[in-house]
Each structure stands twice: as C-alpha cells, then as structure tokens.
Amino acid sequence: MAHNTSRIAIVYATAQGSTREIAAFIGDCLTARGATVEVADAEHAPDLSRFDVVILGSAVHNRALLPALTSYVDSHRDELLARDVWLFSVGIGPALRGPIGTFFGRAVPNQIRVVRDQAGAHAYRAFAGHYERAGVSLGARTMFRLLGGTRYGDLRDWPAIGTWATSIAML
C-alpha cells in the first residue's frame, strides 16, 4: 500500500490535456505527502521495477479508456499485478445531474471494468474533465442534455481529486 515513503508512478493517456493536468496535480499532492513520484504518459512510462505503487489514468472516449492506456495495461499486466494499482478516468459522467444523469454517471462502462480488473486495481474513480461545446455534434450535444449535462467547459473538481490522491497517500 502507499505510504509517505512510497515510490509512485502515475501513467496517463490524454487526448486534449486535461488528464495530464489531473495526473500532475495528483503527483503534486502525493509529493507534498512525502512520496517519490514520477508522472509520464503511457508511451513514455518509466520502468516499473523502481515503483511500489502505480496510478493509471485516462480520458474516456466512447465509453472506453484511450487505446494508449489499454495497450499499456495489456503489455504490463504482470508488473501491474505485482504492485498496488489505482485507476482513474476523466470524462463527463461525474458532471451529469438528475436521476438519469446520476445513473449513467455512476455506471462503470464494461471496457473500463475489464481494464480495471486486468490491472488488478484496488479501486477505480471517475473524475469530471473538460468538455467543450464547440466541435461536438448535434447528436452528442442532445445526448449530453438528455443525460443531465448542464454546462460545458472545464468541469474538473480539484478538491475531489485532491481528496482521492490524499486517500491513496494515507493507505
């Protein structure tokens, strides 16, 4: 488990950068608590032999983690299973409101469940990310509204992310 002398690798996949910023923020929280942290994207991940704990994170596209993260998990399965692993995703789910939005926002997509289990993650947490109206198709915008999406833009909840990071540091 993580503790203040842990060596922690944070490995992420991003399309537009918001997951990278969340990974860096989690890294700062854990460094402030005394851990030795390295943050890298999945294509430049460090050798895991130097780490006790791995935090995996990815943006969600079409109810799935990005291919860079899923192939990383696939090709490092044994190393991950031998370590303490946590998984987070970044999408719109946690920002959805109302009964339908809350239901869909809490559901863990099948593909994410599979990756979580492959990596042997202790826990999986979904965070709200960054969702711009511009460039989103009319169909996707309508679906977003129907599912309880109320606003666009930067939906990240930094205090919630900090609390999650701290909970890992305290285990």
Ligand X SMILES: Cc1cc2nc3c(=O)[nH]c(=O)nc-3n(C[C@H](O)[C@H](O)[C@H](O)COP(=O)(O)O)c2cc1C
59 binds ligand X (CB under 6 A): yes
Q: Are 45 and 9 in contact (CB under 8 A)?
A: yes
Minimum CB separation from ligand X for residue 107, in Å? 10
148 binds ligand X (CB under 6 A): no
92 binds ligand X (CB under 6 A): yes
Segment holding 119, helix H or strand E: helix 110-119
Residue 106: which residues within 8 A CB-CB, separation 6 or more? 93
15 binds ligand X (CB under 6 A): yes
Of residues 140 and 171, the one with the C-beta less far from ligand X: 140
Burial of 48 by CB count in 10 Å (0-12 exposed, 13-18 middle, 19+ buried)? middle
Stretches 74-82, 117-125, 126-134, 157-165: which one binds ligand X (CB under 6 A)? 126-134
Chain residues in the site for ligand X (CB under 6 A): 14-19, 59-63, 90-93, 129-131
